[in-house]
Structure formats: structure tokens, C-alpha cells
Chain A
Amino acid sequence: MTIKRSVLLGSAVLGLLIAVIGVSAFVFAEPYHQRIVFTFMVNLIIVLGLQVFMGNSDITHFGHIGFMGIAAYAVAILATPVAIKKSALATAPFGLSGIEFPLPVAILGAIVITMVVAFFVGLVMVRQTGVPATIATLAFLVVVHVILLNWVDLTRGPRAFYGIPIKASLLGATAIAVVGVLIARLFRDSHWGVQLRASSEDVAAAAAVGVRMQRLRFAAWMLSAFFLAVAGILFALFVGTISPKSFYFDLTFLTLAMLIIGGMHSVTGAVVGSIVVALGLEVMRFLENGPEIAGVELPQMFGLTGFYLGAVIVLGMAFRSEGIVGPQEIEEWWMRRRQKAKSDATSDEALQP
């Protein structure tokens, strides 16, 4: 597979941006803010995973967080020290309360488990598009949530699962996010990605030309699940305590909003959307708590963050339905402007009708 230089260039630019954010937070920020940036990195990885599937196959995906939840709980169950599991997870099946795996094994195990689930779900999922597919992904999210909530022996149900070793670091998350951007770009511009995008626009034509849409969609689905698994593992290994409600509709809406607002058809859109939404959200969170500004005490406005999210989506759909960035990647923007400058400088008599 030939890798275009422009793709590498574009990824590098985005990667640099992300690296700057991560590294400066690591160096300059207080632990509280470092946590926020870490969460941002995790969200970014989620959004990238979402972009890989939604942006290339044009199917709205509501189930991505389900994979995150599976991976988070998997790594939690596998890696948490036996000492903790003996009391917290005393009745776990398969004797899991008595085993503890070294971290790399636990991580690998979590990824494998998630990918296996993704494989079987994906086999049937890729047969469909449009509203039925979207509702099916929604059903998947609900099913995962219900299982996490009710398989108390394995997950502690609605109660927090604590004691997960805290091994993830801000720099590590940043590095993974940067690599994630590269992978997402490479997929998008690989012949799978290009074929998938083109055929999603015109399903009939694609079938006539023999493009195997289901296979392509399946590839995107699996890659997307992989991103979400990584995000889930990172999350669990950073916060140390998880519960099923972290992996349900709130995070689903947040990450969907980030992607839509940035522009779901490009990786640049995913990145930009995540940054814009995250920034806005922090501002809103600050205001929500009723801070004192210039001596004036603002009231507590619970719901402001959610309001902001909804407002940005609505404004986005009303005015820029392709997202802030739109379907073009960053290097394509830059090259187009160079082209325009060139053609402005020369005459355009060739364009007369």
C-alpha cells in the first residue's frame, strides 16, 4: 500500500497539535488540569474510532461506547490485584477473583475480548445501513449496559469497580492519540477507505462495480472497535474506578457531538471537533459551578454544559452541516488554497462556457 506524502503531512500536523497539547499540560499544568487533558485524549481516541466507522461508511453509530465499556471492565477484571478482588469480586465466575494477570497480558486480553465481541456483532451488523443499522448499534449499547449492570458477580453491577491499577499516563495517552490519528488517516486514504467512502455515497453504483461493501464496512467496524477498546483500557487504567454508568448515553452523546461538530467525514474534523467541544465544555463547567467573576457571584447553572452541547450541535447542523472542518483533510485545505492562488495569478480564459 503506497502511503501518500500528503497523508503523512496531514497526520503530522494534527499529531503535532495533539502532542503540543499533551506535553504542555504534562509540563505546566496542575494535576487537576492534567486529568482534564487526559480525559480529552481518551475522548479524542474515542472520536477517532467513531470517525473511522461513521466517516467512511456514513452510518450513524450509537454503540461505540459499548466496546469501551467491555474493554474497560475486561482490563479491570484481569488486572486488578487479587487482594482487592477477593473482597470486591468474591463470587466472580471462572475463578477470576483468584487470578491476576500482569498488565501487558491484561491489556492484550481486554483487546482480544473486545475484538472478539466486535467480530461477531460485526458479522451481522455490516449487512445493514441507515436507520435499522443505527438502531441496531443503539440496541448493542443498551445490551452491553444491561449486562454490565446486572452480571453482578463479574462486574459488581451498579456499584463502583475499584482498585484498578493506575498505570496510564498523560504522555502515554498523548502518544497513543497521535498514533491513532495516523492510523485513522491511513485507513481513510487506503484503498479500503476510499472505496468505502465512495460506495457509501452510491450504494447501487458500488454494487454494480463489484465493490464488496460489507467487507469494507466490516474492516471499518473492527478498526473502530479497536480504537474504542484502547480508549476503554486507558480510561480504566487512569481513573482506577469504573462503573457502568460511565459507559452509557452521556459519553455517547458527548463523543458523537464532538465528531459531528468537527465534521464526521475527516480525521481533521474529528480532532478539531474534539478540541472545540472540550474547550467550550470546560468554560461551561466553570460557569456552571457559579464562579465569582470580577466580584460578581454567578448562580449555579446546572445543565449549562449539556445546553452548550446541544446548542453547538443545532447551530452546526443549521449552518454547517458538514462540520467546522468539512470533509477535507487539513493538507487538502492547504493545497486547495495554493491552487487558488496559482490560478488567480494566471488568466482563466479556459473556463469560458
Chain B
Amino acid sequence: MDYFLQQAMNAFSLGGEYALLALGLAIVFSVMGLVNFAHGELITVGGYAMFFAVLIFGVKNPFLILPVGVLAAILFALLLERVAFRPVRAAPPTTGMLMAFGVSIILQNSALLFVGTRPKAVPTAEWLMFDLNFGSLRIPVVQLLETGITVLAIMLLVVFMRRTTIGMAMRAAAKDFSTVRLMGIRANRVVSTAFAISGLLAGLAAVFIMARRGAVDPFMGFTPVLKAFVAAVVGGFGSLPGAVIGGFALGIAEVALQAALPSSVAGFRDAFIFSAIAVLLLFRPQGILGERPDFGEKT
């Protein structure tokens, strides 16, 4: 029972991480139709920002370091939108996707070029390294926080999307951007807000990834975003609840399979998961919650 609960915690915290990332991707896609391959770099930027905060500014207080990471991710997302994606906003979706792809390669290699190839350590606050004891359960504080913050972030996002004008505008823009403009709402604001939110979510995820890894390197965003993509598509690409479900599903599947598979085939875990995903996508391409686009509708 304890083992089960322990693994459940693992699953939820990992799933939460994937959910945050998948949600960021889904928001940008639903508002702009952009498949943002550069999303992983937001994590890397968050990580490097934290590293530099410690290194250059000698910040020691973790309550300062963490917001730095999140803030850096948000600002960088806005920068990316303004510089790289606004010029191709009117272009077909493939162009935008490939542009994002190119941007991510540039960013990864810029980190290589300008910061260095070696991973840089970012010390995590000691208090985060504790395990909490609930009877016979030992749960790392980080996991609890991760799960908790993910849930909180998602709830706040829901409130934001329902109650604020710009949030409603984003929901409307997912299906009909030009009519949103007819409400007098500036297109740029809607897009920037979407990017800022995706930056926020990526920054939060970055904090937790950093807490686990303890170091930042130029390619750290790659695997998480790969999984996030897959999670978002499984949940229904463009669907926000779908992204959350997809993220948690992937996290649960990974942990469950890792625990269930005999050690001789444990290495094949990702092969099983990805095969299942491929099959799911090919028979239900709209994912779990997505909608099949009718011809003539914006996909």
C-alpha cells in the first residue's frame, strides 16, 4: 500500500510537470495555430536564469531564485513571440512550426556557444530536499509542492480564462480570431498573453525540473518538451483540458510501466508508451478530448 502511494505521488508529480508543459503548448496552439517547438527552450532559459542569479548576483535565497526562473521564462516567451513568431503569424502553420524548430536549434546552440557545454550546477535550497514523513510514507517535499502548485496553477488558469476579458478572448480566438478583433480587442495582446502564460507554465515546470536535476545544460528542454508534445496531442492538440489530461496520463503511464515492467524489459518502457501513443493517434487522431475538424473549420 505504501509502495503504491509512493508511486502514485511520483506519478502525479511527474504528470503535473508534463501537464504544465503540455498546457503551455496547447494555449499557444489554440490561439495562434503555432506548434511551438521552441517551448523547451523556455525551460532552459529559466534554468540558466536561475544559474546566473546565483552566480552573478550571488542570490542565495531560494524564494528569490525561483521567481527569477519563472520571470525569465515569461519574458523570454514574450521576446520570442515578438521577434521570431510575429513576422510569420500570417504564414501557413507548417512555416511557423519549422520556424519554431529553427529557433529552438539556434537557442540550444547559442547556449553551447556562449555559456559552455558542461552542465552548470544550480544549488537547490536545502529545505526542498527534505522528505516528509506520513506514518510510514516518505514523500519528498518537492513532489508535494510540484503536485500542489500544478493543481493551483491549473485552477488559476481556469478562473483566468473564464472571468477575465482577455481570457475569454483567448477562448474565442481559438475558433475565430478575426471576430475577436471586431470586439476591439487587439490581436497582439491576445497573442502576447497566450505566450506569457505559456512562459509562466514552462517556468514553473523549469523550477521543478531544476530541483530534481540540480544542474542546467543547453539541451535540458528537449526531452521534456518532446514528452509534452506527445501528451498534448494525445489529449487533443489545442484542447486545454486535453493537455492536462494528456500530461497526467503520460506521467501515470510512465511511472506505472516503470514499476510494473520486469527489469529485463524495463528499458523498453518508452517504446511501449510511444507505440501505444502512435496507435492511439492513428485511430483517434483528435486525441482524447480533441474535436475532429469539419472541413472548412480552422484546425
Contact = CB atoms under 8 A, between A and B. Distances in A.
Query: Do A and B interact directly, with beta carbons closer than 8 Å?
Result: yes
A279 interface: no
A136 B281 contact: yes
24 contacts: A58-B94, A124-B282, A130-B285, A135-B230, A140-B278, A146-B268, A150-B265, A150-B268, A253-B101, A302-B117, A303-B110, A307-B105, A307-B106, A307-B112, A309-B105, A310-B107, A310-B108, A311-B102, A313-B98, A313-B102, A314-B99, A314-B106, A317-B96, A317-B98
Contacts of A136: 277-278, 281-282
A240 interface: no
B113 A307 contact: yes
A125 B92 CA distance: 23
- Point out which of A135, A147, A249, A318 has the most chain B C-beta atoms below 10 A from its C-beta: A135
A306 B88 contact: no
B275 interface: yes
Contacts of A309: 102, 105, 109
Contacts of B296: 204
Interface of A: 58, 60, 124-125, 127-128, 130-133, 135-136, 138-140, 142-143, 146-147, 149-150, 203-204, 249, 253, 256-257, 260, 301-307, 309-314, 316-318, 321
B233 A303 contact: no
A306 B102 contact: no
Given A139-B278, A143-B278, A253-B105, A132 B286 contact: yes
B230 A139 contact: yes
A329 B112 CA distance: 38
A138 B226 contact: yes
B102 A314 contact: yes
- Point out which of A58, A128, A203 has the most chain B C-beta atoms below 10 A from its C-beta: A128
A306 B108 contact: yes
B282 A303 contact: no
Contacts of A310: 102-109
Interface of B: 35, 84, 87-88, 91-92, 94-99, 101-113, 117, 218, 222, 226, 229-230, 233, 237, 265, 267-268, 270-271, 274-275, 277-279, 281-283, 285-287, 295-296, 299
Contact of B233 (A131, A256, A304, A317): A131
Contact of A128 (B110, B277, B281): B281
Contacts of B218: 303
B105 A306 contact: yes
B275 A143 contact: yes
Given A139-B230, A306-B112, A318-B99, A146 B295 contact: no
Contacts of A203: 295
Nearest to B105: A310
A256 B98 CA distance: 10
Contact of B94 (A60, A125, A149): A60
Contacts of B275: 139, 143
B33 to A, nearest CB: 10
Given A301-B113, A302-B112, A302-B113, A321 B95 contact: yes
Contacts of B233: 131-132, 135
A127 B265 CA distance: 30
B274 A139 contact: yes
B283 A124 contact: yes
- Point out which of A131, A260, A302, A310 has the most chain B C-beta atoms below 10 A from its C-beta: A131
A147 B295 contact: no
A60 B109 CA distance: 23
Nearest to A147: B271
Contacts of B113: 301-304, 307
B290 to A, nearest CB: 9
A317 B222 CA distance: 21
Contacts of B97: 60
A302 to B, nearest CB: 6
B286 A313 contact: no
A138 B285 contact: no
Contacts of B270: 142-143, 146
B229 A314 contact: no
Contacts of A314: 84, 99, 102-103, 106
B281 A132 contact: yes
Contacts of B87: 318
Contact of B109 (A132, A147, A303): A303
A306 B99 contact: no
B105 A150 contact: no
Nearest to B238: A131
Contacts of B222: 249
A132 to B, nearest CB: 4
A249 B105 CA distance: 11
A253 B105 CA distance: 9
Given A127-B285, A136-B281, A306-B105, 9 more contacts: A124-B278, A124-B282, A131-B35, A131-B237, A133-B285, A140-B274, A142-B270, A142-B271, A303-B112
A143 B276 CA distance: 10
Contacts of B281: 128, 132-133, 135-136, 139
Given A127-B282, A143-B271, A314-B84, A306 B109 contact: yes
